[in-house]
Amino acid sequence: MKKRISILLCCFLSTSLLMGCSANSSNKTSDNIVKTENDKGKVTWWTWSTEAATALNQQVEYVEANTDLDVNLQLTATADYWVKLPVSIAAGTGPDVYQMTRPDFESYAASGQTMDLTNIVEKSSMLQEYLDKLDPVIVETYQYNGKQMAIPITIECSAIAYNKDIMDAAGINLKEIEDTWTWEDLKNIAEQLTIKNDKNETVQYGFYVPADRLPMWEILWSAGYEIFDETGEKCLLDNPGVAKALQPLADMYQTGVSPSTEVTTSSSGDDMFMSGKIAMVAAGVWKVPTYTNITSFKWDVVELPLDPTTGERKCSSNVLGLIINPNTKNLDAAITLIEQLVQPECQKLYADSNSAIPALESERSSYFDKQVPENIEAFENALSYIHPNVLSQYIPYQQYSQLQNETLKQGLNGEMTMEAMLQNLCNEINKVVDENKAKYNN
Give Cα separations from 331 to 5, 120, 323 (angstroms).
35, 10, 12
By C-alpha distance, which of 389, 388, 390, 394 is closest to 430? 394
Please name every residue paired with 386 in a beta bridge, in sequence order, or none if there are none.
315
What pLDDT shows up at residue 40? Answer: 63
By C-alpha distance, which of 211, 192, 206 is closest to 262? 211
pTM reported for the whole predicted model: 0.88
Q: In sequence order, which ranges of 104-234 are alpha helices (DSSP H)?
A: 105-110, 118-123, 125-133, 136-140, 164-170, 174-177, 183-193, 213-222
Amino acid identity of residue 187, one-letter, is: K
Question: What is the rounded average pLDDT for all residues in the chain?
Answer: 91
Please, what's the largest Cα pairwise distance for the chain? 78
User: Mean pLDDT over residues 295-324, rounded?
Assistant: 97
Please name every residue paired with 73 in a beta bridge, in sequence order, or none if there are none.
45
Cβ count near 87 (within 10 Å): 15
What pLDDT shows up at residue 82? Answer: 93
Contacts for 435 with CB less than 8 Å, ≥ 6 apart: none
> 158-316+390-441 maps to which CATH number?
3.40.190.10
What pLDDT shows up at residue 69? Answer: 97
pLDDT over threshold 50, residue 38: no
Q: Do domains 42-155+319-388 and 158-316+390-441 have the same CATH topology?
A: yes
Say which CATH class 42-155+319-388 falls into: alpha beta
Between 236-245, 262-271, 335-344, 422-431, the lowest mean confidence (pLDDT) is in 262-271
Provide the b/e sequence for 356-389 (b: ≥16 CB within 10 Å): bbbbbeebbeebeeeeebebbebbbbbbebbbbb
SS (H, E, C) 167-190: HHHHCCCHHHHCCCCEHHHHHHHH
Q: What is the pLDDT of residues 359-416, one digit of tens each?
A: 999 999 999 998 899 999 999 999 999 999 999 999 999 999 999 999 999 999 999 9
Domain boundaries, the chain: 42-155+319-388, 158-316+390-441
